[in-house]
Amino acid sequence: MAALNIVSRFAEIGIQDRPSVGGKGASLGELARAGIRVPSGCVVTTSAFERFLTILDPQGSIRRGVSKLSAQDSAAIVQLSEQVRAQIECAPLPEDLQSAIAAAYEELHRAPENATCPVAIRSSATSEDSAEASFAGLQDTYLWVRGSDSVIRHVRKCWASLYSVESLTYRRRLNIPEEGLAMGVVIQQMIDSRCSGVMFTRSPTTGDRSVVVLEASWGLGSAIVSGEVTPDKYVISKVTGEIVQRNVSTKLREHLPNSHGAGVSDQEVPEERQNIPCLSDDELHALVTIARQVERHYHAPQDIEWAVSRNHSPGGNLFLLQSRPETVWAAKDKAPVAAPKGKAFDHVIALLSGGALKK
């Protein structure tokens, strides 16, 4: 048997490695390789998961059970979900997996700027983050996890989340086969964000490809994603770099790392910071440059999560946490705005014809 690859560092993987590290992991690896700054990290591979699952369930009864479920039968789904999740979270972990994950965490730990080494543990399913179906949010993410025991515990929780009620229902509804379905888990250095947000390299409201639309708020990105805060919103022209629109809103809440170690707490933003922009124009332009770089790299509009670190100095403090292909407008892109005409001036004649000539 060939040596099992339990953990892959970001630097070793790219988008083609989706089957072995899952969508999120592959995408982060791809970004890192393309020279985009992402928090350093690694992925517990799908093979590791497969190995764990095989030991836990040599007969494949779990997958068979799921395949037989009907999407409508929620009672059965809940029951199976509870049973499988408990199994995955409690069963003993093979020694080689345990030590490989601990070693990978130790490696992150040694990164000098990250002495206390809080990490984010994020599920990275093989079917997630694809352009076709946005699987986002169905699997779990755990922030501010510290210590190798806790890391291992949360890796198992991520694996287990593949069998959450939501995930199971979703897979059954879309008839996604269980065979070959696997879960990678990203272990990634946690960024203590001064502010964070999302950006779209195409306007989510109009589909305009010439602008980047960026939202930003104080603290960790979870405050924006969960909708607890109205973020500052900017529209920036990709072509001229002009800030076409700038709405600084009142930002009342921010998510911050918990002072006693692990987890996140939701806090009120001090009054003096509520109404001021959380990004400088320089940071804004730097983020737009990165967004365009990612878009060019993938040759497609992107939906990006980013953060500005408190603990890194300017010039090295902007991080991308995730980039996904934009899916909404990509599906609408059919009718061209205009087609060429016989003569250039035919466009004018058509426009001034009062609708008598088709534009």
Partner 1 sequence: MPTDAKRTFLLPSQITEVPGAAGWESMYPYYTKFQPEDDQRFWFYNAMHFPEPMPAFDAITGEVAYEGLGAFTTRIFVFPTTMGIEHRIANGRVYITANPVSDPAEIGRRLELFQERAGYYYENWNRILGEWTTRMENMIREIAAIQAPTLPEHAPIENVTNATGLGENHYIKEKYHRLLELYSKMWHHHFEMLMLGYGAYMVFFQFCKKAFPETPDQTIARMVAGIEVLMFRPDDELKRLAKKAIEHNVDDLFTADCDPQDVLAAMQKRGENGQKWLAELEKSREPWFHMSTGDGFYHHHLSWNDDLSVPFSALPRYVEQLRQGVSLDRPTEKLKEERTRIIGEFRELLSSPDEQQAFDQMLGLCHLVFPFVEDHKFYCEHWFTTLFFKKVKTFGALLVAKDVLVEADDIFHLQYVEIESLLADLSLSWAGGGKPLGRNHWRPIIEKRKRILGRLKDWNAPPALGPIPDDISDPALQMLWGITNETLETWSSSATALDAREIKGFAASPGIVEGIARVLKNVNDIAQIREGEILVCPVTAPSWGPVFGKIKAAVSDIGGTMSHAAIVAREYGLPAVVGCGSATTRIKTGQRLRVDGNRGIVRILD
Binding site for partner 1 (CB under 8 A): 203, 206-211, 235, 237-240, 242-246, 333, 336-341, 343-345, 347-349, 351-354, 356-357
CB of 325 to partner 1, least distance (A): 15
CB of 350 to partner 1, least distance (A): 8
Half-sphere exposure of 245 (CA within 13 A, CB side): 12
CB of 304 to partner 1, least distance (A): 18
Alpha-carbon span 209 to 198, nearest angstrom: 16
Q: Which residue lies nearer to partner 1 by CB, 103 or 357?
A: 357
Q: Which residue lies nearer to partner 1 by CB, 163 or 298?
A: 298
CB of 80 to partner 1, least distance (A): 45
CB of 35 to partner 1, least distance (A): 22
Read off the DSSP letter of residue 251: -
Alpha-carbon span 13 to 236, nearest angstrom: 32
Q: Which residue lies nearer to partner 1 by CB, 8 or 201?
A: 201
Residue 19 and residue 8 in contact, taking contact as beta carbons nearer than 8 Å: no
Q: Kindly give the residue spans of alpha helices, DSSP state H, lying in 162-226.
A: 165-174, 222-225
Alpha-carbon span 185 to 22, nearest angstrom: 8
Radius of gyration of the chain (CA): 23
Q: Which residue lies nearer to partner 1 by CB, 65 or 207?
A: 207
Q: Which residue lies nearer to partner 1 by CB, 137 or 241?
A: 241
CB of 288 to partner 1, least distance (A): 13
Residue 225 and residue 136 in contact, taking contact as beta carbons nearer than 8 Å: no
Q: Which residue lies nearer to partner 1 by CB, 55 or 348?
A: 348
Nearest-CA neighbor of 319 among 197, 204, 144, 230? 197
Residue where the block lists tokens 């393309």: 34
Alpha-carbon span 10 to 26, nearest angstrom: 8
